[in-house]
Structure 1
Amino acid sequence: MLVNADFSRRAIVAPDQYVWITSPQSGVERVMLDRLGGEKARATSIVRYVPDSHFPHHQHPGGEEIFVLSGTFSDDDANYPSGWYLRNPPGSSHRPFTDAGAIIFVKLWQMPAGEDRRIRIDTGSSDNWTGPQGQESCMLFASEHEQVRLQRFSPQQSIISAEAGGSELLVLAGEVMLDGSSYQRGSWMRLPAGDALDLASGSRGATLYLKTGRFINTQLEA
């Protein structure tokens, strides 16, 4: 399966374009933002768990990155309310579940084999944010391969620099403007290097999940 699989082209999914697809596990649905492969895939998705749903214990050979958008997502070790960032390295395993229900942003099979850091960050804590008002940043992960952070932008502020390389973002609050169009909360974009220089926050500012770097686009299976 191929969804937004050409990484040399712009890919945008706005909330009114969401298509919820039932997963193999009862009570779990997903919006496929990009995908290269079948059920085992390099994938970026928004996943919705109904209350009292779960996945069986399973492994993540290519790693897994999670940002909790709403509700409470639970794992083998703890409960993670809205705003938590989780990064499980290649070779990790877990049994995800939720009691109250949850919506999460998920990225699978997008880490180099040598990555070994397990990360848990509460972005709701002011201790994890740095920078002046209107330019605050919460760093989530950094390597030679990529940088991942939450970023707050004041109104009508440029978002991507010329040195950023490829960029991916999810609008968490406010809006962003690109080519004269407004993209509200829940909008996802993946932009190749040099294609985001006109990207700016809107009149209400914006809070973004923002990833920049060289993205892995290996297809795992048809």
Structure 2
Amino acid sequence: MLDRVGEEKARATTIVEYSPNSKFPKHTHIGGEEFLVLKGTFKDQHGAFPAGTYVRNPIGSEHAPWVDGDGCTIMVKLLQKQRTASGKPVDYGTVLDLYDNTSTGEHVEMCWVSAGKTLPPPSTTGGEELFIMEGSLQCKDEEYVQWGWLRFPPNDSSQRHEVKAGLSGAQVYRKCGHLTEDALKKEKIQIKEE
């Protein structure tokens, strides 16, 4: 225990060592959770996280972690977040805003697109990138599966090709508004300097 404020449900910072082949019961993060994997591989129903991985679970998220034979050590912070982070329902599924910068136009969100539903283009004209976390997306005649990536250049969003979720839906990381002409020029200059 590095720090603790409270009783059973406490704001805490702790080093946790999981014994090989151990597991922790399913639980809800009432105040969010963030952890850094120090040694071994931490696993839950969302993935496997090797040493050096930083994970931030929003308020209200649930998981049931376990470790395999290598054991695992993490530094975990609980109840550290001050604001509620929850997805909002939309016509095509659910969206969770992750980052928004009104001065640059950059916006990042996690989208859960229901099966067969179309992910509408962003309201910004500064380009768009889509990374498929789970499920699949269909664009034109191509199917993009887990870890697939699509990038649309800056333009009128009405010109963007239709993007539709596959039969099992899709969880999609979407970043948009960051591919403006100015940003692309700066990127090219920085690459030349390096």
TM-score using structure 2 length: 0.49
Larger Rg, first or second structure (1 or 2): 2
TM-score using structure 1 length: 0.43
